[in-house]
């Protein structure tokens, strides 16, 4: 039955079941996406050189920044708004399509200038090729937004899985065919472009909504302003997260940037694979219950605690075994990047919690406050990069870790708790619940590493991974919070199996 995207009451029907199913489908899709990327990445690092990754990372500083303006926050404006008309959605489609084409044209025109800045002529054509994704994404943004608004997470999962598999397959095929040649780095350019094309085809197929022609006076302006504030925040956030690539590439060159960018991307992969889809899942749900404080608090806390129970212990384990993980996963050529991974993993311990603050700002319509938060956060992060830059890429990682954990995260807690249903006690309670589990995993892994005999690299990783898993389980069993989560999870699995058995019998 087609979803009525313009009837908020109809969308809210069965909200709890839709949320649970959405979470399950999102978890499956992101699991598949993550596994695909984790399999392809070590293959690419063995087919390509660190310099190739650094070269494309330079281009990504430009194309990634420009790509934010294609969306311009319009998809979140579609999701967050309680009442939406067909004409408003249509107008947003045309705005995004025009923005995508315009930004692609601007990047093509400016690409020679960026090539001069980085002192590498190859960047001209890399940026031109990457810019085609802007046109494709501009056409797809509103369709994805409508699917999120209608809580059609199955269709979004299909689009996510199909696009990543197609993009990775094309990129890997190119790398195999042209490994060692002058144009082998095009494999990294083709992955996002081909993934964007596949995603457009799938969301167009799965979304039954179709836009009408643009009309003035439909009440779109306020949605554009809402999107503009989110874009302002995203712009600052992007600049803060990519200024390190810009500075390292400019100061130290493509090889150092190749180490740093690849380590950063893979280290953040589990966090991003969870946070991105969870934002698409949780923000629509929180937006629908933004006036019901107790329900809002329960949904947020339930979601973020379970997210952190996965991400925090994983980052603690990686921080302890960073040098082993770097060599085992990437290759011996990436061994100098081990210290970078250790400090970036420590910085990523609470990245998921920081990212979830954005859910609260968006779902509560506090876009201006979110922008102000972005100004302060981005300024602090960029200053940390400048402080660490003379000491190499590892110095940048150390400075970022100290700034994020010591200043940015406490600042986010204070700002979001000034008003709204989420207060500082709830956020502190989340940290106190999850922190001991991550600490137990980290300490147990460290002790195992120093006490066990000298083994082969892979055996050492296997042993420490088993120790970390056992430490996680024991800490969950020994803590009241952990026992509650395990009991609820087991009860949920039993209910799902019971429903599945009943449906099979019927």
H-only helix segments in 85-220: 86-118, 122-149, 153-178, 186-206
Given a cut of 60, is residue 374 above it in pLDDT?
Answer: yes
Q: Are 29 and 157 in contact (CB under 8 A)?
A: yes
Given a cut of 80, is residue 470 above it in pLDDT?
Answer: yes
pLDDT band at 497 (very low <50, low <70, confident <90, very high): very low
pLDDT tens-place string over residues 307-345: 888 889 999 999 999 989 888 887 787 888 888 889 989
How many other CB atoms are found less than 10 A from the CB of residue 403? 21
Highest mean pLDDT among 29-33, 242-246, 381-385, 444-448: 444-448
Q: Are 195 and 186 in contact (CB under 8 A)?
A: no
In degrees to the nearest 10, what's the CA dihedral of 251, 255, 257, 261? 180
Q: Are 13 and 150 in contact (CB under 8 A)?
A: no
Q: Are 80 and 363 in contact (CB under 8 A)?
A: yes
pLDDT tens-place string over residues 481-494: 888 888 876 665 55
456 against 503, higher pLDDT: 456
Torsional sign, CA 136, 99, 284, 356: positive
CA 99 to chain CA centroid, nearest Å: 23
The first and second tokens of residue 31, run together, are: 């699991």
Reported residue count of the chain is: 506
- Residue for token pair 């952190």: 308
How many other CB atoms are found less than 10 A from the CB of residue 199? 24
Question: Rounded CA gap, 286 and 206, in Å?
Answer: 24
Give domain limits for the chain. 1-252
What confidence score (pLDDT) does residue 495 get?
A: 58
Work out the average pLDDT over 78-102.
78
pLDDT band at 105 (very low <50, low <70, confident <90, very high): very high
- Residue for token pair 């406050």: 369
Whole-model pTM over 0.85? no
Work out the average pLDDT over 150-172.
87
CA 235 to chain CA centroid, nearest Å: 15
């Amino acid at each position: 039955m087609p979803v009525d995207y313009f009837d908020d009451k109809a969308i809210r029907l069965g909200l709890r079941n839709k949320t649970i199913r959405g979470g399950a489908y999102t978890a499956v899709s992101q699991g598949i996406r993550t596994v695909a990327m984790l399999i392809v990445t070590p293959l690419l690092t063995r087919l390509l050189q660190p310099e190739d990754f650094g070269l494309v990372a330079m281009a990504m500083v430009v194309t990634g920044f420009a790509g934010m303006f294609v969306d311009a926050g319009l998809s979140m404006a579609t999701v967050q708004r309680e009442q939406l008309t067909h004409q408003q959605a249509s107008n947003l489609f045309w705005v995004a399509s025009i923005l995508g084409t315009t930004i692609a044209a601007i990047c093509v025109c400016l690409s020679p200038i960026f090539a001069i800045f980085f002192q590498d002529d190859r960047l001209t054509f890399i940026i031109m090729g990457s810019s085609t994704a802007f046109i494709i994404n501009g056409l797809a943004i509103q369709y994805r937004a409508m699917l999120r608004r209608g809580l059609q997470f199955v269709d979004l999962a299909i689009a996510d899985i199909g696009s990543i598999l197609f993009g990775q397959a094309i990129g890997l095929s190119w790398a195999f065919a042209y490994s060692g040649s002058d144009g082998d780095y095009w494999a990294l350019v083709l992955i996002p472009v081909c993934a964007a094309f596949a995603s457009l085809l799938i969301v167009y197929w799965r979304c039954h909504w179709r836009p009408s022609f643009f009309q003035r006076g439909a009440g779109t302006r306020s949605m554009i302003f809402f999107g503009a504030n989110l874009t302002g925040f995203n712009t600052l956030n992007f600049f803060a997260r990519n200024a390190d690539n810009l500075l390292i590439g400019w100061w130290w060159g493509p090889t150092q940037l190749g180490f740093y960018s690849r380590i950063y991307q893979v280290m953040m992969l589990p966090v991003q694979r969870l946070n991105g889809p969870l934002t698409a899942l949780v923000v629509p749900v929180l937006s629908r219950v933004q006036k019901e404080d107790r329900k809002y608090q329960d949904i947020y806390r339930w979601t973020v605690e379970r997210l952190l129970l996965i991400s925090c212990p994983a980052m603690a384990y990686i921080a302890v075994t960073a040098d082993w993980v770097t060599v085992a996963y990437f290759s011996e050529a990436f061994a100098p990047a081990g210290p970078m991974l250790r400090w970036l993993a420590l910085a990523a311990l609470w990245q998921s919690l920081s990212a979830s603050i954005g859910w609260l700002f968006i779902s509560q319509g506090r876009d201006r406050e979110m922008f102000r938060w972005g100004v302060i956060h981005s300024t602090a992060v960029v200053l940390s990069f400048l402080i660490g830059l003379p000491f190499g890429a590892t110095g940048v990682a150390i400075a970022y870790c100290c700034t994020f954990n010591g200043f940015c995260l406490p600042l986010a807690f204070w700002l979001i708790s000034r008003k709204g249903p989420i207060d500082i006690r709830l956020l502190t309670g989340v940290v106190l619940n999850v922190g001991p589990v991550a600490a137990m995993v980290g300490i147990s892994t460290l002790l195992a590493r120093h006490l066990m005999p000298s083994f082969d690299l892979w055996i050492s990783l296997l042993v420490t991974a088993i120790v970390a898993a056992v430490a996680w389980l024991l800490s969950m069993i020994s803590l009241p919070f952990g026992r509650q989560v395990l009991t609820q999870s087991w009860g949920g699995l039993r209910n799902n199996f019971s429903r599945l058995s009943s449906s099979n019998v019927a």
